[in-house]
Chain A
Amino acid sequence: MGDSAQERQERFERLFAAHHAQVAAYAGRRAPREAVEDVVEETFLVAWRSLERVPDDPLPWLYGVARRVLANRRRGGRRAAALVQRLGHESERAAASPPGGPWLSAPLEAALRALSDREREAVLLIAWEGLTPSQAAIAAGCSAAAFRVRLHRARARLARALCEAAPPGDLLEPVKGVESS
């Protein structure tokens, strides 16, 4: 292994050590627990193969990659579910991954369902991942201005949906043992 290859691997290991936990958390908020390691591995495999393109602030870029990895997995999951359904069997895999996750209260889950995929991702990048709008724009794969518009619309729609779904007191009811802070 030459010096540059050695340096490349060391850089990747630093990247992995610094950010794999955030990527795992990102995946864990959107996918079943058993899929988290796979999503992290696929995300960092893309990073390894494109290490020269990883920006100085890598986390939003990694979230963007993880978002696409998850989307691919969901598409694959839908194909598998459809195949299982065609074969006349109950899809355990589909039942294991309800949209929105098992941890949200029903009104919050209903409100998130009322958003489009892009809008939902916009609010979650800010609320759960703690990104700034500029960082979240990188993760969402759009310009900062477009992201701000998207976020504004998403917040308004989410607020409306929450009001319709339930009084604010019900929204923070912990479900299935997940604590709220």
Chain B
Amino acid sequence: MSDSLDLLRAANPVPAPAAFASATQRRMIAAIVAHDPPSQGGPLARLLRRLPRRRLYLIAVAAVLTAGCAAGAVAVLQGERSAPLSGALPGPPGGRYSFSVIPSLGAGTVGWCIGEETQTPPPTLRRLARRLRSDIEQVLASDRAQLRRGHLTQARRRQLMRYVESTLPDALRSLAPGRYRSSPLLREFARAYPTGEGSGACGDAATRGRPIVAAMSAGEAGRHVALYLTAPEVAAVRVSPALTVLTSASPQLPDGYRFAVVLEPKGRSGPVGVSGPRPVAALDRRGRVIPAGRVPGEGETAIGQAAVYWQARHRRSVVGARTPAAKPPPAACEIDTRRLRSATLYYGSVVVRVHGAPQLAGRPYLSCAYTQLYLRGYTVQAAVLLDARHPGRLPAGLPDSVALRSQPETANEPPRSGQQAITGRRIGDAWLVVESLDHRGSSTLAERLAVLERLGVCVRLHGPPCP
């Protein structure tokens, strides 16, 4: 037994195999065949099984790399880069535009307002007349059939009057040399005559089914520019089959929101139509269209919250056929103006009962009280802003604002792009904000701070309302 293998054979610990008892065999077979045999697959599966395992790994790695590259190629969304929030208007040199975004302050609203400011060389009177004529003809084009019959409907007549009222003063103002033609006048006009149609400068906060939050256009025929404020998941907007613009982020925007600024392309259909920015399709990172339909329970009506309007008696002639309350009714929020003795109240609104909307994207605000008041020499609007998703939690910081060194709880947004300055102070889990209204003179930062100092706030999310 000289061979080492013979030694091993001699030491075999189980020299003869012994079969299991038949009962044990049956039990084991039954346990094994209770498992389903795997599907055998097609010819490809059989081919893969025959390949050596190492080669199979190489094939798998190559397949993963190829698929990854292909997916990457598909995932790269093609489109033009967005223009900046402020820049040069398209067309002849000398024109500039600028956009800004601020929270919507009307009580019950959860959304954002876009302000725009354009600076163009003053037109000559002849050019202005030609432009006005062209604009009015464009508006009347759809009414030719009615005009031939010799009458216009009352509603259409009102619409035309509004158009002329809104256009003429703005156009006339632009005649003054060196003056900017800015849009707050139009905004104020739109606020006084809300039609609920058109582009609008304000929009509700983003939810599922609302990828485009708001749109705003600026400029003039041939050199238009449009801003689309979008939900965080929007990677691009498709203006037309030939024009897709990628969205960008900006610290000037609310938390997580994105924007696309589209300049009118030369000789092609642009982003602005007769009634403002054209509707666009929102695209995700893979270029798929994000549905813009309303989702039941998450639509517009679910975001805005019912607010009660009130109006001081001396302002009764301004708006409305129904007689509103003369002072704020008991509600969840209240702005107390009693310490501002020089203030004259105009009107306002309050949310009676606040509820959260966790489905909202980002960290938008819910305005739960709004007041417009006149102080000696200037008008301001004040609002109480809560976290719209979870009222009672600390709301997000005011976008694009700077905390004051002397008062860290107070933030100031300087005036820009057709928006007036906003100054806000944190009070508990709410912001009290004050914004200038320019048509009766702008306020200074010191004046807004003085107003903030004297305004009181009551927020009662549960229990009895503020008196």
Binding site for B on A (CB under 8 A): 8-9, 12-13, 16-17, 20-22, 24-25, 28-29, 37, 40-41, 44-45, 48-49, 51-53, 101, 103-105, 108, 111, 123-124, 126-128, 155, 158-159, 162, 168, 171-172, 178, 180-181
Contacts and interface: CB of A to CB of B under 8 A. Distances in A.
A127 to B, nearest CB: 4
Contacts of B5: 123, 126-127, 155, 158
B242 to A, nearest CB: 56
B40 interface: yes
B29 A168 contact: no
B321 interface: no
A9 B33 contact: yes
Contacts of A37: 20, 24, 28
Contacts of A171: 7, 11
A28 B16 CA distance: 11
| Top 4 A-B pairs, shortest CB-CB distance | A127-B8, A21-B17, A25-B17, A103-B13
A124 B14 CA distance: 12
Contacts of A111: 4
B359 to A, nearest CB: 46
Contacts of A105: 11
Contacts of B8: 108, 123-124, 127-128, 158
B353 to A, nearest CB: 57
Contacts of B302: none
Interface of B: 1-20, 24-25, 28-29, 31-33, 35, 37-38, 40, 49
Contact of B40 (A48, A52, A158): A52
Given A13-B29, A162-B4, A108 B11 contact: yes
A162 B37 contact: no
Given A24-B18, A127-B5, A8 B11 contact: no
A105 B4 CA distance: 14
A51 B35 CA distance: 13
B31 A41 contact: yes
B11 A17 contact: no
Given A48-B35, A127-B5, A127-B9, A20 B14 contact: no
Contacts, number: 103
Interface centre among A53, A105, A128 (most CB of B within 10 A): A128
A41 B32 CA distance: 7
A41 B12 CA distance: 23
5 contacts: A20-B28, A24-B18, A48-B35, A127-B8, A172-B7
Given A48-B37, A126-B5, A104 B14 contact: no
A148 B272 CA distance: 82
Nearest to A162: B4
Contacts of A158: 4-5, 8
A63 to B, nearest CB: 12
Nearest to B26: A13
Contacts of A168: 1-2, 7
A53 B3 CA distance: 36
A101 B7 contact: no
B28 A41 contact: yes
Contact of A172 (B11, B38, B49): B11
A21 B19 contact: yes
A158 B14 CA distance: 21
Contacts of B11: 103-105, 108, 171-172, 180
Contacts of A178: 13
A127 B12 contact: yes
A179 to B, nearest CB: 8
B31 to A, nearest CB: 7
B13 A48 contact: no
Given A49-B35, A108-B7, A16 B29 contact: yes
Contacts of A155: 3-5
B52 to A, nearest CB: 11
B135 to A, nearest CB: 78
A52 B41 CA distance: 12
Contacts of A8: 37
Nearest to B40: A52
A44 B10 contact: no
Contacts of A49: 35, 37-38
